[in-house]
Amino acid sequence: MFILVSEVGPRDGLQSIRRAMPTEAKIRWIGALAAAGLREIEVGSFVNPRKLPQMADATEVVRAALAIPGLTVMALAPNLRGAQAAAEAGVRKVTMPVSASNAHSLANIGVSTDRAIGQVGEVVAWRDTLPAGARPEIEIGISTAFGCTIEGPVAEDHVIDVAVRLAQAGADSVGLSDGVGTANPAQVKRLFTRLRAELGDKAGGAHLHNTRGQGLANVVAALDAGVTTFDASQGGIGGCPYSPGATGNIVTEDLVWMLEAMGLDTGVDLDRLAAARAILEEALPGEPVYGHLPDVGTEKGFRYAGGRAAVEGSGRAHRQGVPA
Which residues are identified as catalytic? 240
Task: Give the interface size with its own copies as a residue count (CB under 8 A).
Answer: 49
235 touches its own copies by CB under 8 A: no
Q: Which of 19, 51, 81, 292 binds its own copies (CB under 8 A)?
A: 292
Least CB distance to its own copies at residue 218 (A): 8
Looking at the Cβ atoms of 34 and 258, the one nearer to its own copies is 258
Q: Which residues of 266-288 are buried (b: 16+ CB within 10 A; e: fewer)?
A: bbbbbebbbebbbbbbebbeebe
Q: Does 301 bind its own copies (CB under 8 A)?
A: yes
* Contact flag: residue 261 with its own copies (CB under 8 A): yes
Options 51-59, 82-90, 162-170, 247-255: segment touching its own copies (CB under 8 A): 247-255
User: How many CB atoms within 10 Å of residue 307?
Assistant: 7
We find the least distance from the C-beta atom of residue 272 to its own copies, in angstroms, to be 18
Q: How far is the C-alpha of 200 from the C-alpha of 186, rounded, in Å? A: 21
**What contacts 38, CB < 8 A, 6 or more positions away?**
5, 6, 7, 71, 252, 267, 268
**C-alpha 96, offset from chain centre:** 12
CA distance 214 to 212: 5
268 — alpha (psi -120 to 50), left (phi > 0) or beta? beta
CA distances from 77 to 60, 139, 165, 260 (A): 16, 10, 19, 32
Q: String of b and e for 213-241 (b: at least 16 CB within 10 Å)?
A: ebbbbbbebbbebebebbbbbbbbbbbbe
Residue 33 CB, nearest approach to its own copies (Å): 19
Among 192, 230, 257, 304, binds its own copies (CB under 8 A): 257
- Identify the three-state secondary structure at position 322: coil
Site track 136-165 with its own copies (rule: CB under 8 A), x = hit: -----------xxxxxxx------------
Pick 95 or 99: Cβ nearer its own copies: 99
Q: What element of type H or E holds 255?
A: helix 252-261
Minimum distance, C-beta of residue 56 to its own copies, in the bound complex (Å):
31
Backbone angles phi, psi at 94, to 5 degrees: -105, 130
Candidates 49, 110, 213, 226: give the one binding its own copies (CB under 8 A). Answer: 213
Stretch that binds its own copies, among 28-36, 129-137, 185-193, 196-204 (CB under 8 A): 185-193
Based on the shown chain and the rule CB under 8 A, indicate whether residue 230 belongs to the binding site for its own copies. no
Q: Is the Cβ of residue 46 or residue 146 nearer to its own copies in the bound state?
A: 146
- Within 37-76, the residues that bind its own copies by CB under 8 A are none
Residue 281 binds its own copies, judged by CB under 8 A: no
SS3 percent helix, strand, coil of the chain, rounded to 5, is 45, 15, 40
Site for its own copies in 302-321 (CB under 8 A): 302
H or E element, residue 45:
strand 40-45
- Closest approach, Cβ 188 to its own copies, in A, equals 9
Q: Least CB distance from residue 286 to its own copies, whole Å?
A: 16
Contact call for residue 262 and its own copies (CB under 8 A): yes
Residues that bind its own copies (CB under 8 A): 147-153, 180-182, 184-187, 210-217, 219-221, 224, 242-247, 251, 254, 257-258, 261-263, 290-293, 295-296, 299-302
